[in-house]
Structure 1
Amino acid sequence: MKISLIVNPNAGRKKGLDAAARVAALLEGAGIECTQFVSTRPGGTREIAESIVPSDWDGIVAVGGDGTLFEVVNGLLAHAESVPVPLGLIPVGTGNSFIKDLGIESVEDAVARIVARHTRRIDLGLFTSDAGTFWFANLLGVGFVSNVAYRARKYKIFGALSYVFAVFEELIGLKTTVVTLEIDGRIIECDALFVEICNSRFTGGNMLMAPDALIDDGELDVILVRRVNRRTVLKLLPTIFSGRHVEFPAVEVFRGRSIRLTSEEPLMLSPDGETFGRTPIDATVHHAKLEMFG
Structure 2
Amino acid sequence: MRVALAVHPDSGQGAAARMAGTVAARLRTVVDRLDLITADSPERFRRRVAECRDSGLDALVVLGGDGAAHQAVQCCAGTDLALGLVPSGTGNDFARALGVPRDPVSALSSLVSALRHDHRRRVDLGRIDGGDSSVPHWFGTVLCTGFDAAVNARANSMPWPRGPHRYDLALVRELVSLRPRPVVVETEKERLTTQATLVAVGNTAFYGGGIPICPEAVWDDGAFDVTVVGPVSPLRLARILPRLRTGAHVRHPSVHTLRASRVRIEGPGEWPVFADGDPISALPTTVTCVPEALTVLGVTRESTV
Match of 2:124 in 1: 123
Displacement, 1:73?
Answer: 1.6
- For the residue of structure 2 that corresponds to 1:215, the secondary structure is coil
1:176 equivalenced with 2:172 (yes/no) = no
Match of 1:87 in 2: 83
Gaps of 5+ in 1: none
Deviations 1:170-215 (A, max 9, x none): 1121112101111114110001000001111111102111111101
Deviations 1:237-258 (A, max 9, x none): 1111111111111111111001
Match of 1:4 in 2: 4
Work out the CA distance in 2 between the residues paired with 1:85 and 1:130.
25
Aligned counterpart for 1:139 among listed residues 137, 142, 165: 142
1:15 equivalenced with 2:18 (yes/no) = no
Matched letter for residue 27 of structure 1: L
Aligned counterpart for 2:266 among listed residues 262, 265, 268: 262
Matches within 5 A, 1:198-209: 198-209=202-213
Matches within 5 A, 1:170-249: 170-249=174-253
Cα RMSD, aligned residues only: 2.1
Deviations 1:54-97 (A, max 9, x none): 672331111211111111221345xxxx2213211221122111
Aligned partners of 1:27 and 1:33 also within 8 Å: no
Work out the CA distance in 2 between the residues paired with 1:32 and 1:214.
34
Match of 2:106 in 1: 109
Matched letter for residue 2 of structure 1: R
Aligned partners of 1:88 and 1:110 also within 8 Å: no
Gaps of 5+ in 2: 300-305
- For the residue of structure 1 that corresponds to 2:258, the secondary structure is strand
Cα 1:88–1:55 shift into 2, 3 Å: farther
Aligned partners of 1:139 and 1:199 also within 8 Å: yes
Aligned partners of 1:95 and 1:159 also within 8 Å: no
Work out the CA distance in 1 between the residues paired with 2:189 and 2:48.
39
Matched letter for residue 75 of structure 1: C
Deviations 1:215-248 (A, max 9, x none): 1110011110001011111111111111111111
Displacement, 1:50?
Answer: 3.3
Work out the CA distance in 2 between the residues paired with 1:36 and 1:260.
39
Matched letter for residue 94 of structure 2: F
Cα 1:47–1:55 shift into 2, 3 Å: closer
Q: Percent identity?
A: 29
Displacement, 1:123?
Answer: 0.2
Match of 2:303 in 1: none
Displacement, 1:22?
Answer: 2.0
Normalized against structure 2, the TM-score is what? 0.88
Aligned counterpart for 1:149 among listed residues 152, 156, 174: 152
Normalized against structure 1, the TM-score is what? 0.91
Displacement, 1:10?
Answer: 1.4
Runs of 4+ aligned structure 1 residues displaced above 6 Å come to none
Aligned partners of 1:130 and 1:278 also within 8 Å: no
Aligned partners of 2:7 and 2:63 also within 8 Å: yes
